[in-house]
Structure 1
């Protein structure tokens, strides 16, 4: 059975079948001139990302502000380029994509930590009884000037409490984590119904200004070792134990 799914588009289509998860999936389309134009006009900010890729490589943020002299711009790594016309923007993006299949996704105005955006990684694994279990949550803060939060791209790892504490009270953080747990389990069940060989997933979850969680991406080969930095060592111990158990199966 297929254990790993690389295509972000395929995974998005699979989890959209869940009525509980669907409201938390940002609008996502295959990149084309038409899809980019329509989504920029509707959302004003989108992310363009490779369909197959890891560590945030190739992800670009695209913005449209009709009041600017050069209303179109995109950021790739720490470089920002601006354009007078949509056509010039699109041609530059296509060149940067290098012929690879890309997706365009509604941009989420994420919460920030020390002026840098952050998202949350939620780990879900099958336990020795074969049941899905949410085993860990950790925050990832973007490097200053970058649009991605990935640890391998310079992001910093922080606890969920550290990142949400300035916004929510302790009890509210607990309730929010319980909501994330339900969302993660629902996503795992939805993906496994299509690909029954999957045993672990890592959800990348953005939190918007209204504290709504958005599933940006689902990884079927998540890194278990990022949880090692948490003060609560029992979390990493469980993640690592389940990781090793599932690897042997």
Structure 2
């Protein structure tokens, strides 16, 4: 399905003025966009447009003295110049479509970057969206992706992760309310693109200033993170929404 890709969802969501500030700049991967975003931000991520589970995500950042670092899985290499950086990326990606996105410097817990999986749902025959679950996904040591299986990372209850995180304390107040609002806005926006959809799993980054970033919206979110956490109450709530007819 043509709509089942990250770039289409990103472009659709940027049309909503309430959501646009929460979206890190994203473009189709090509040489011009690669150079433009790397020059603009100095730190970008290249990933499959239709990929999932953290597969083949590559970070590229300027490391000084004309050199760039390419970080893939838990390995890093350093190259001289933008042309060599792009060639190094091209050697690691297949022929499928890729996107390039501004990398967000995520807040950390015990020096491990984390993002937040937010489940937002509506019941059948209802237009009301609700946040039914959230947790923090911590990247494994040396990895940039937070997918637990790929990076060997760990899950934490959302409130515990925020409490222990590197987010400045003055920015923690009101974070839950804002996150829930952004998740519900996102679902309302995507409803006009996917009218029958009743669940989304949003991957949301938070930086040290407490700013929220929508990294991507998943139409078929896995419950495995919640199972690993043993969050049975949350799983029951999510499943109860799914079962309504």
TM > 0.5 between the two?
yes
Aligned equivalent of 1:95, options 91, 94, 103 = 91
Q: Identify the residue that residue 142 of structure 1 maps to in structure 2.
A: 139
Query: Which consecutive residues of structure 2, in runs of 5 or more, have no partner in the other structure?
Result: none
Deviations 1:64-96 (A, max 9, x none): 13336xx11211101112111211111121121
Deviations 1:87-109 (A, max 9, x none): 11111211211112111111111
* Runs of 4+ residues over 6 Å off in structure 1: 168-172
Residue equivalent to 1:238: 237
| SS across alignment from 1:61 | strand
> Are 2:35 and 1:37 equivalent residues in the alignment?
yes
Matched pairs, number: 242
* Higher relative contact order, chain-length normalized (CA < 8 Å, sep 6+): 1
Counterpart secondary structure, 2:184 = helix
Judging changes above 3 Å, is the alpha-carbon distance between structure 1 residues 226 and 11 closer, same or farther for their aligned structure 2 residues?
same
Q: How does 1:98-109 map to 2 (within 5 A)?
A: 98-109=94-105
Alpha-carbon distance between aligned partners in 2 of 1:235 and 1:222, rounded to the nearest angstrom = 14
SS at 2:45's partner residue? strand
- Relative to the length of structure 1, the TM-score reads 0.89
| Aligned counterpart, 1:22 | 20
Deviations 1:113-172 (A, max 9, x none): 111100000000112452211101100000001110012212211011121103579997
